[in-house]
Structure 1
Amino acid sequence: MPRLLNTRHRARMCWMATVLGAVSIVGCSTATPYQPFRHGEGYGDQRIESNRFSIHFAGNSSTSRSTVETYLLYHAAELTLANGYDYFVTDERSTTADTRYYQTFSTGFGYYWLPQSAFDIGTTSYPVTEFDAQADIVMFRGERPATNPQAFDARQVKANLESQIHRPKSD
């Protein structure tokens, strides 16, 4: 009887180690900082015309949708000012979610009171979602038209969102 309990104890420890390993992998991930696109994360842009860009920001599974959208808007403001313009108008703005499901497996021996050992495989499925925001922007000089809700003053956007921008830690 002690041998069966020992086997059962080892099986539980194995299951707990598997769960803790999966949690530590997911739990240790930090949100994508505001950085140029690399390794599938960060911001990027492509000039379409002299004053028109297609921009995007991709976050990892620890980056919320609102953070991804904030970083996209901030990048639009930075890009507008860097190119000598005062305001930008968004066109074709969207955010997509990519959800994948991962499974963890656990094994265990149970029912030590049965004549033979019973074997059990348990699985746990958990979702992992990553957000990607895209927009086309057109940049202009002068004062932002107050009647256009898609027009943003680049200086105001940059000033108002700066406190929410987390940059990569320097090594």
Structure 2
Amino acid sequence: MKRILLSLALVTSLSACAAMPTPYQEATGSRWGYEENQIERNRFRVSFGGNSLTDRETVELYLLYRSAELTVEQGYDYFELVERAVDSETRTLGRHPRYGGFSVRYAYFHPRWGWRGLHDPFWDDFHEREITRFEASAEIVMGNGDKPDHSRAFDARDVMANLGDDIVRPEAE
């Protein structure tokens, strides 16, 4: 019995470690991370998609940071958000213990109905949870010189300096 409990505790702790929010990374080989597509010489579409453990604020933060980083990589000083959107996908997951959850299959005797099987009177309920995943995208136009004086323009180096401490990068393997 101790071995079973120890094994169960080990599996639970390992699965908890594997379930983490999406780090700041390129989305190569998965849907989670940042992507960009060049539209014109100084115009890009940038997006960041997070898994179901990544909150909306983090997804938007990573989008802004990637926009700033891409602007500096391309040799520009500032970027303007021409278009920006945050999409969400919500799914409801449910399970019935008898049909895919804690199914304990045994027979029991009830005084009124006699012997009953394939029913667990203690776990026979329905479990449901909601999962939401966010993806932020923006079309940006990059420029050099002084940043325009409006709320949709960002100094790329300032954004990187101010948001850099909040960026969580993938752990080295």
Shorter-chain TM-score range: 0.7 to 0.9
Deviation per residue, 1:40-64 (Å, 9 max, x gap): 1000000000000001000000000
Counterpart-to-counterpart distance in 2, 1:34 and 1:112: 57
Instruction: Tell me what 1:83 maps to.
Output: 74
> Aligned partners of 1:68 and 1:115: how far apart in 2?
55
Q: Which residue of 2 aligns with 1:140?
A: 143
The CA RMSD over aligned residues, in Å, is: 2.5
Identity %: 39
Equivalent residue, structure 2, for 1:166:
168
Q: Deviations over 1:32-91 (max 9, x none)?
A: 000001311000000000000001000000000000000000000000000000000001
1:19-168 alignment, distance < 5 Å: 28-38=18-28, 39-107=30-98, 112-116=110-114, 117=116, 119=119, 121-146=124-149, 148-168=150-170
**Structure 1: runs of 5+ lacking an equivalent:** 1-16
* Compared CA separation, residues 83 and 102, structure 1 to 2 (3 A): same
One-letter amino acid of the counterpart of residue 48, structure 1? I
Task: Describe the SS at the equivalent of 2:60.
Answer: helix
Q: Report how far residue 26 of structure 1 moved.
A: 7.8
Offset from partner CA, 1:148-171 (integer Å, 9 cap, x none): 110000000000000110000111
SS at match of 1:61: coil
TM-score (norm 2): 0.78
Q: CA deviation at 1:110?
A: 7.5
Q: Are the structure 2 counterparts of residues 122 and 81 from structure 1 closer, same or farther at C-alpha, using a change threshold of 3 Å?
A: same
Unaligned runs of 5+ in 2: 1-7, 99-103
Q: How far apart in 2 are the matches of 1:105 and 1:56?
A: 37
Counterparts in 2 of 1:137 and 1:97: CA distance versus 1, 3 Å: same
The TM-score with structure 1 as length reference comes to 0.79
Aligned equivalents of 2:143 and 2:109: distance in 1? Answer: 73
Deviations 1:113-133 (A, max 9, x none): 444238364221111111000
Q: How many residues align?
A: 150
Could you tell me which amino acid in structure 2 is paired with residue 127 of structure 1?
E
State the distance in 2 between where 1:92 and 1:160 align.
Answer: 22
Report the secondary structure of 2:128's partner residue.
strand
Q: Secondary structure at the match of 1:77?
A: helix
State the shift of 1:28 in Å. Answer: 4.7
